[in-house]
Structure 1
Amino acid sequence: MQANAADKKQILLVDDHTLFREGLKVLLRENPRFSVAGEAGTVFEACERVELMKPDLVLMDIALPDKSGIEGVRFIKEKQPSTKVVMISMYSNIDFVIKSIRAGAVGFIVKDSTPDILLKALATVSEGHYYFDHKVLDEIVQFMLAQVDEETRVSDERYDRLTPREQEIMRLVAQGLSSKQIANKLNISPKTVENHRGKLMEKLELDSVIDLVKYAAALGIIEIRGSQE
């Protein structure tokens, strides 16, 4: 069944190679779930178009002529928090990946991935999850574990301070769900979710979502999605 135009996820393509963008447009036109809202070749153009178009998704290259795509992610998340950004790059350097996540990206794929992986990544993040190419996923997990000190890794004392509801919300937040999505899933109000989030972050002595993801990964209570070999 074909999706109505209004139901399709609107995507902004950001890459400085016209031929690459054209290939992406051909691929996405054949998929009933997505529609290309626009395209840009620089961070400046991307930021302008995001403010104007308010797309659901942005597929963003890292190496752009004027600025790093990572800087573009920060601007997009500041101006249009609901827009989800997936990074696409020739490089799988873990530093690029981590900086992208910290800037607000919810996915990272490399340019030599298959079309199926690209479409799976876009579908996954549009459903409120993170998605990382298998070529970077192992490095992400290793990085997160390396950042957690031995006490946190072997002890769940802070986790035990949480109520069952707070533990449930922590897991969903770490999986990338928004407060609204969590509220719908648990049949509670978004305000109640926010209250629980504030309390659990305080009990865990964590400052950001990335810290929460690292903590949850160290305890083995979340699944980080990745593509299959």
Structure 2
Amino acid sequence: MSGPEQIRVAVVDDQELMRSALRMMVESQSDFTFAGEGVDGLDALALVRSRRVDVVLMDLRMPRIDGIQATATITAEQPECRVIALTTFDLDDYAFRALRAGASGFLLKDARSEEIVDAVRTVHAGHGVIAPSTTRRLIEHIAAGPDPDAARAAEVRGTLTPREFDTLLEIATGDTNREIAERLHLSEATIKTHVGHVLAKLGLRDRVQAVVLAYETGLVGPPRR
């Protein structure tokens, strides 16, 4: 019998100690393969252009090309490659910009190894990950920004069926398909289908981008002053 599918993980961080710790974490997992490492965004681009990389663990604050610019380029050039943004700061502007650039996840560097490992598997499966401790701050960050994009909100409503629109609002809660299914009294398989339709129709990579879109357009979110 063949073993589990190997997830090829690259590590990009300008701190040698952090790179070493992440590499050890990757190499300790039977279903992970270490795909290389780099010290900045230029190295990240070289890695994904020269070999197959499924997930990049990407520092955001780096010299030459930072993690945000590298993330935007990678997600544009390599749609199948997922990026998890790592930062020391609890949802500073860099982290939010990385999510908008196409990162499928955001975690703090002090996250436990198990959390990072789970995040790699989750984004590789096509889902998004935001550290639970920072979800509230993400919402506040978006709510404090410019007025919602009403035109985009109307476009979203017109693109989705009523059930798909309800599913988008549920995705924005951050809950899993199972939790959403229980709340809407539908099967998990049905919710998974609806989620796939929402992402495809709106041109979104994953659930993280769906959350950002829902809040930026004002479809969901705290009351604005």
> Which aligned pairs between 1:110-149 and structure 2 lie closer than 5 A?
110-147=108-145
How far apart in 1 are the matches of 2:144 and 2:100? 16
Residues 1:102 and 2:109 are matched in the alignment: no
Residues 171 and 216 in structure 1, CA contact (< 8 A), matched pair in contact too:
no
Partner of 2:215: 214
Letter in 2 for 1:3: G
Residue 12 (structure 1) shift: 0.9
Residue 134 (structure 1) shift: 3.0
When structure 1 is superposed on structure 2, of 118-127 and 35-44 the one drifting more is 118-127
Q: Percent identity?
A: 26
Residue 19 (structure 1) shift: 2.7
When structure 1 is superposed on structure 2, of 110-119 and 211-220 the one drifting more is 211-220
The 3 A distance-change label for structure 1 pair 18 and 195 is closer
Say which SS state the counterpart of residue 120 (structure 1) adopts. Answer: helix
Residues 1:33 and 2:31 are matched in the alignment: yes
Residue 64 (structure 1) shift: 1.3
Letter in 2 for 1:186: T
The 3 A distance-change label for structure 1 pair 122 and 217 is farther
Residue 143 (structure 1) shift: 2.5
Partner of 2:201: 197
The 3 A distance-change label for structure 1 pair 11 and 195 is closer
When structure 1 is superposed on structure 2, of 96-105 and 128-137 the one drifting more is 128-137
How far apart in 2 are the matches of 1:13 and 1:118? 12
Residue 31 (structure 1) shift: 1.4
Letter in 2 for 1:87: A
> Which aligned pairs between 1:23-172 and structure 2 lie closer than 5 A?
23-147=21-145, 159=157, 162-164=160-162, 166-167=164-165, 170=168
Residues 8 and 33 in structure 2, CA contact (< 8 A), matched pair in contact too:
yes
Partner of 1:3: 3
How far apart in 1 are the matches of 2:158 and 2:41? 44
How far apart in 1 are the matches of 2:163 and 2:62? 43
Tell me the matched-pair count. Answer: 197
Residue 94 (structure 1) shift: 2.9
Residues 57 and 84 in structure 1, CA contact (< 8 A), matched pair in contact too:
yes
The 3 A distance-change label for structure 1 pair 79 and 112 is same
Say which SS state the counterpart of residue 35 (structure 1) adopts. Answer: strand
Q: What CA deviation, in whole Å up to 9, does each residue of 1:165-199 have, x standing for no partner? A: 54367469867xxxxxx99x539xx9xx599726x
Which residues of structure 1 form unaligned runs of 5+? 176-181, 202-207, 221-229
TM-score (norm 1): 0.69
How far apart in 1 are the matches of 2:160 and 2:20? 49
How far apart in 2 are the matches of 1:39 and 1:141? 32
Residue 40 (structure 1) shift: 0.9
When structure 1 is superposed on structure 2, of 55-64 and 30-39 the one drifting more is 30-39
Q: What CA deviation, in whole Å up to 9, does each residue of 1:117-144 have, x standing for no partner? A: 2112212212222111233221012223
Partner of 1:224: none
Residues 57 and 126 in structure 1, CA contact (< 8 A), matched pair in contact too:
yes
Residue 217 (structure 1) shift: 8.3
Residue 37 (structure 1) shift: 0.9
Compute the RMSD of aligned alpha carbons: 4.0
Letter in 2 for 1:133: A
